[in-house]
Amino acid sequence: MADADIAVWAHDAALLRDTVREAGALALSLFRTELKNWTKGAASSPVSEADIAVNDLVERRLRAATPDYGWLSEESVDDDTRLGKQLVWIVDPIDGTRAYLAGREDWCVSVALVAGSAPVLAAVFAPATDEYFFAVRGRGATHNERPVCAAAGTELDFSRVAGPKPLVQRLSPSSEEITLHPRIGSLALRLCRVADGSLDAAFAGGQSRDWDLAAANLIVQEANGRMTALSGDAIEYNRREVVHGVLVAAGQDRHSRIVEHFRNHQLP
């Protein structure tokens, strides 16, 4: 890491930390209130006025301070100029909107700074449970300012695995029914549970977007874990196509075992 990069990222890290904290406070102030909400896209994804308000706050703060950076957010119209930017903010103002609107606590604000195609700064804040995950590339990951580390080992305790059951079932050595960890509404938060060792592994079943993944990816990586496509290929961000296929996150040894298993079997 060059000295110039360290200086820039130190400034941006402070900006990111404060902005996401403020965004989480705004989301929490609107949580469990009467909100207008609607659906968008072919998948009928929910969106609410809280998503828009948080997105607007994050965009104002980050873009005013870093006008030369690109921008990609779930709740903003995509602008192709981001493709020519070396540094791009990737934002999910409320990840887990269904959980948020249902009054559950498993939602978060998720923001990453991507350099080239890989995240270099990441913040995932779940204000309803006061959990703040943060990472700087090469500097480790923290949960409420305490260092975190993915669970070691290669064994598979399915009660400590989260993801689509038909996919995870294929890891079982028998045809017996398995019991997974209860569903976590936010994908970013699900992945961060791998980083802090609460889960042994987590899967994304396909159709996730850059904004669901970028921040959690760095947090897992900096917690001595790995997060990749099920093939083991690295995830690349800020491409024209922001949709990703099946992904897995786990501690390094367990991740290797899972990827090897699927390499030896037909991928979904």
How far, in Å, CA of 140 to CA of 104, rounded?
A: 29
- Boundary-marking domain end, from 147, 177, 204: 147
pLDDT given for residue 5 in this prediction: 59
| Domain identity same for 186 and 56 | no
**Residue 50 sits in which domain range?**
3-147
| Domain identity same for 258 and 140 | no
| Domain identity same for 136 and 192 | no
pLDDT in tens, the chain (268 residues): 455 455 567 899 999 999 999 999 999 999 999 999 998 876 678 999 999 999 999 999 999 999 999 999 999 999 999 999 999 999 999 999 999 999 999 999 999 999 999 999 999 999 999 999 999 999 999 999 999 999 999 999 999 999 999 999 999 887 678 999 999 999 999 999 999 999 999 999 888 999 999 999 999 999 999 999 999 999 999 999 999 999 999 999 999 999 999 988 765 4
- Boundary-marking domain end, from 147, 168, 203: 147
**250 bridge partner residues:** 201, 226
For residue 178, tell me if it sits in a domain: yes
- Counted domains in the chain: 2
pLDDT given for residue 99 in this prediction: 97
How far, in Å, CA of 123 to CA of 218, rounded?
A: 9
Ramachandran region, residue 21 (left: φ > 0; alpha: ψ -120 to 50; beta: rest)? alpha
CATH number at 187 reads 3.40.190.80
| Domain identity same for 259 and 185 | yes
| Domain identity same for 163 and 125 | no
| Domain identity same for 43 and 164 | no
CATH number at 100 reads 3.30.540.10
For residue 153, tell me if it sits in a domain: no
Positive or negative, the CA dihedral 198, 199, 200, 202 is negative
| Domain identity same for 22 and 112 | yes
- Boundary-marking domain end, from 147, 171, 187: 147
For residue 268, tell me if it sits in a domain: no
Instruction: Answer for the pair 57, 49: CB distance below 8 angstroms, yes or no.
Output: no
How far, in Å, CA of 217 to CA of 224, rounded?
A: 11
